[in-house]
Amino acid sequence: MQTRVSSMEDIKDSLQRAQPRVVPLVLLKVFVLFLPLGVGFSALSLYMTRNLKVQNVVFQARAGFQPCVEEQSSLDWWIRPPSNLMHNMSDEELLWRASFVPQVKKYPFKRVPKIAFMFLTRGPLPLSPLWEKYFKGHKGLYSIYIHALPSYQGNFTSDSVFYRRQIPSKVSEWGQMSMCDAERRLLANALLDLSNEWFVLLSESCIPLSNFSIAYQYLMRSRHSFIGAMDDPGPFGRGRYDLNMAPEVNITQWRKGSQWFAVSRKPAVSMVKDTTYYPKFEKFCKPNCYVDEHYFPTMLTIESPHLLANRTITWVDWSRGGAHPATFGRADITETFLKSILEGTTCPYNNQSISVCHLFGRKFAPSALEPLLQLAPKMLGFS
């Protein structure tokens, strides 16, 4: 350091010595003229180097660090799910891409069907430790997608099932078409993985009510998709129908149900590709219509009624009355409480009666996590 400083000073000294005391005016003018040019040029080259580097990183991330030359010539290229969920497709591009459907029914490769768990959330997933346990040991049978506020950056570590599972998102509001848009965005991203056969919509307050194996069998063997679709003659049902929706939507086809669905691939494709009913709902299901309670149940009832169970598999408690269902916290979570959710009811399933009615439940506060983790082995069948 010492020697470098002194040598620098030596150089400065020698420069000063070499220069005449009075700089000629012409030289000064030339200097003043070229200074901004020089500064500009170095700024430009700095920017270009940085930008090139960024582009290179983005490219490598997209390609998943794999060479992308020979790939298109093998089947693998066509059936491999996207390696990076953070694509830059617009909604229009994404929905179009997601609507691709193979016309040959038999897959010419070993396809292990998966369940896509689609979390529609504002930000963090406070119950994620419970879900981590739920998914443990079932790799290859599920995939996870998270739609959060665009500003939210999840901080899951690389050993988490939620790591890098966030999809490009937009702000969505309850009761607005933007909520259905978010659900379609989740479906479309999940459809890009050909292995996904079931598509379950969940929120940050949802919990599993069985273990993964039970849920997997329940869904894979079901002939019907689970979405509430009720014909309610009252003011909050048919009362929300607008005659302007005819002829695409008749009042006899108007349905209502909670937004938390679990649908198989065929209805999922109908939901992302729809351009017939969407404009009608967007235009005439507002305000106080709560489009997210009507759009998918009605649309699917018209398009494929035979594929619908017309009931949900997500348990919720409306018994307290009011505009919102009950939320359960630490003090509520007891064996008796969980038993009351899990037992004592029967539901139609593949045209038979079954005692397992719900695979998921809402709404659970973050404080419910600890007692749920404790009771999960005994009550929910996983640890």
Ligand X SMILES: *[C@@H]1O[C@H](CO)[C@@H](O)[C@H](O)[C@H]1NC(C)=O
**Interface residues with ligand X (CB under 6 A)?**
88, 90, 155, 157, 211, 213-214, 224, 246-247, 250, 252, 301, 305-306, 308-310, 351, 381-382
- The Cα–Cα gap between 86 and 166 comes to 7
Q: Which of 308, 222, 223 is nearest to 270 (CA)?
A: 308
- The Cα–Cα gap between 54 and 66 comes to 18
Q: Which of 369, 313, 310, 321 is nearest to 342 (CA)?
A: 313
Please identify, using beta-carbon distances, which residue of 281 and 382 lies nearer to ligand X. 382
Please identify, using beta-carbon distances, which residue of 228 and 371 lies nearer to ligand X. 228
CB-based contacts of 156, cutoff 8 Å, min separation 6: 128, 162, 163, 164, 165
Least separation in angstroms between CB 125 and ligand X: 10
Least separation in angstroms between CB 87 and ligand X: 8
Please identify, using beta-carbon distances, which residue of 116 and 379 lies nearer to ligand X. 379
First to last CA, the chain: 61
How crowded is residue 192: how many other Cβ atoms within 10 Å of its Cβ? 18
Least separation in angstroms between CB 49 and ligand X: 19
**Is residue 207 classed as helix, strand or coil in its secondary structure?**
strand
Least separation in angstroms between CB 213 and ligand X: 5
Least separation in angstroms between CB 256 and ligand X: 12
Please identify, using beta-carbon distances, which residue of 222 and 325 lies nearer to ligand X. 222
Please identify, using beta-carbon distances, which residue of 72 and 157 lies nearer to ligand X. 157
Taking CB positions, which residue lies at the least distance from ligand X?
Answer: 381
CB-based contacts of 94, cutoff 8 Å, min separation 6: 87, 185, 188, 189
Please identify, using beta-carbon distances, which residue of 295 and 382 lies nearer to ligand X. 382
**Is residue 206 classed as helix, strand or coil in its secondary structure?**
coil
Spatial contact of 192 and 168, defined as CB atoms under 8 Å apart: no
Least separation in angstroms between CB 378 and ligand X: 10
